[in-house]
Structure 1
Amino acid sequence: MSDDFDDLLTANRAFADTFALQGFDGVAKAGVALVTCMDSRIDPLGMVGLKPGDAKIFRNPGGRVTPQALEAIVLGVHLLNVDRVLVVPHTRCAVASSTEAELRRRVSESAGQDASWQSFPTVDDQVDTLKEDVAKVRTHPLVPESVQVGGFIYDVDTGLLRREV
């Protein structure tokens, strides 16, 4: 059966030939959890010098601390060795440089149908939003004070992180 995924399945077979994580228990070896954007310009492990198995990664539009991200962080802290959490939005992010109306219009045009009902939360001020998101993690009743939480902005043009919180 040939389909649109053949190139990816071929690449997967090559990946599996040298797969080194068999038997790994799934804990974050470096004790790190990272919440970041789904943007393909971001290499979450590489940007902080980690490798597969070192961290738990949660990605979503804008790198926001959503209820789902908080669930992942709590699980990571209590079950998967996480003791440091990085919240990392980035420069030139669509959700920080567009209004929700603009995103709905663009999606509607691309889809050829009305997307006004779809939620696309946007960010007016990245630094203020980052402070709010870090506070959500720090004040969550299931995240102990011993967990270090930092807020950073990743520059997609230089690869550098800038600590904001």
Structure 2
Amino acid sequence: MSRFDDLLAANKKYAEAFHSGGFDGIAHAGVAVLTCMDSRIEPLGMLGLGLGDAKILRTPGGRITTDSMVGLILAVYLLNVDRIMIVPHTRCAMASGDDQAVADAVMARSGVDIHGMVLGSTPDQAAGLRYDVARLRNHPLVKDLDVEIGGFLYDVDTGLLEQHH
């Protein structure tokens, strides 16, 4: 017995009705979405997109990390992306405080010390979003390209996106 058995059983049912193979792997709607790993977010559904339309990257808090920056750059150069959405969300644990506060919470809950890790936590989500959008827009491999980059806040209680400039 494995703790994955329920998921593997669900996957078998999914595969029985699966008829979406054969995609080429590019983003057919030209969109990449960087959002939080929060399970309340359905990136394709919230944008009216479907399988094969967009590239989806997830990080804690929907913040740009080194790996997500690489993914976004590759999406632009190799995967038909010309629009990038950075999408943090309301009621995010990563917005409950700064890195120190989040590390303190992990320590209090588990006894594990993650102090010193760069987590990207910020209680000022608007400032974090402005920073990430500007960081991507000014990246030397992106800044001279015809790529639209936007910042948005997703409301987990209404399902609505609010654009931040």
What TM-score do the two structures reach when normalised by structure 1? 0.91
Q: Which runs of 4+ in 1 moved over 6 A?
A: none
- Distance in 1, Cα, partners of 2:117 & 2:146: 38
Shift of 1:84: 0.5
Tell me the CA shift for residue 109 of structure 1. 3.1
Aligned to 2:130: 131
Give a deviation string over 1:87-127, Cα, whole Å, max 9, x none.
Answer: 00111111112232332222123323433344433113211
Deviations, residues 47-96 of structure 1 (Å, cap 9, x unaligned): 11111211101101110122211111111111111011000011111111
CA contact (8 A) 1:138 1:145 kept: no
Give me the CA root mean square deviation.
1.6
For 1:98, the aligned partner's letter is G
Percent identity, aligned pairs only, is: 52
**Could you list the runs of 5+ residues in structure 1 that have no partner in the other structure?**
none
**Structure 2: gaps of 5 or more residues:** none
Paired positions, count: 164
Give the TM-score normalised by the residue count of structure 2: 0.91
Give the match for residue 147 of structure 1: 147
Does the 8 A contact of 1:63 with 1:87 survive in 2? Answer: yes
1:14 Cα offset (Å): 1.1
Q: Does 1:32 align with 2:35?
A: no
1:57 and 1:67 map into 2 onto residues whose CA distance is 15
What amino acid does structure 2 have at the position aligned with 1:23?
A: G
Match of 1:158 in 2: 158
Q: Quick one: distance in 2 between partners of 1:111 and 1:118?
A: 16
Q: Is the contact between residue 106 and residue 114 of structure 2 (CA under 8 Å) also seen in structure 1?
A: yes
